[in-house]
Structure formats: structure tokens, C-alpha cells
Amino acid sequence: MGSITLETRRMSYEEILAGLGKRHQMILEALRERPRSTARELALYLWEKGVIPAPERNFTHPRLTELMQAGIVAAVDKKRCPVTGKMVAVYEIVDAEEIDSE
């Protein structure tokens, strides 16, 4: 990929990060502190910190989906949820340098 393409891709990534809402930022911070987490694990973590009112995955999952669509977060694995017994996605922040190398 040419250097101009890499540069514009990096600029787009940084612009998206700058325009994120408060909940998006909270989720990214939580993923930095607790990488490879599920939506429910992030919700529990943010609730324990007093950031969200309840440990419900509905406080995190919609924002994770939006962050995935923006290319900032990726589902990197799956594991069984201890609450529901269902297989769920494990999320991680996409490395900006990885974006540059594509």
C-alpha cells in the first residue's frame, strides 16, 4: 500500500477516535485495562467502577458493535458466558499500527 494511503488511513482512524462519544470512550478505556473481554465482562467492570448504573451487557454491547463498524474494536475470540451458558464474542482494540500495515 502506498505511503499516501497509509497516511490517510491513519488520519481517518485518529479522526474517528476523536469524535467518539462518552460511552465509546469508557468502553475503550475498559478494553485497554481489561483486554480480551466480553460485553458482559466490560459491563460488570464499568459497573464496579461506578461508571454505569447496572452490570448489564446492554450498556456495552451496542457501543462495541459501533466500535467494530468503525474498525476500532474487533471480535477476536469466543468463549462461554458463565451467566447464560451461550458462546459470546471476546473483544479487543485494533492496534492503530496494524491499520497502518494493511
Q: 57 vs 4, 42, 98, CA distance in Å?
A: 39, 8, 28
**Do residues 30 and 45 touch, judged by C-beta distance below 8 A?**
yes
Q: What is the pTM of this model?
A: 0.76
Q: 12 vs 6, 38, 94, CA distance in Å?
A: 10, 26, 14
When pLDDT is cut at 50, 70 and 90, the band that residue 3 belongs to is low
User: Which residues have CB under 8 Å from 76's CB, separation 6+?
Assistant: 36, 90, 91, 92
Q: What is the pLDDT of residues 16-52, one digit of tens each?
A: 666 678 888 899 999 999 999 999 999 999 999 999 9
Q: What is the pLDDT of residues 42-101, one digit of tens each?
A: 999 999 999 999 999 999 999 999 999 888 899 999 999 988 899 999 999 987 444 434
The per-residue pLDDT for 100 is 38
Amino acid at 49: K
| Phi-psi region at 13: left, alpha or beta (left = phi > 0; alpha = psi -120 to 50) | alpha
Q: Which of 96, 72, 91 is nearest to 6 (CA)?
A: 96
Domain boundaries, the chain: 3-101
The per-residue pLDDT for 19 is 65
Name the class of domain 3-101: mainly alpha
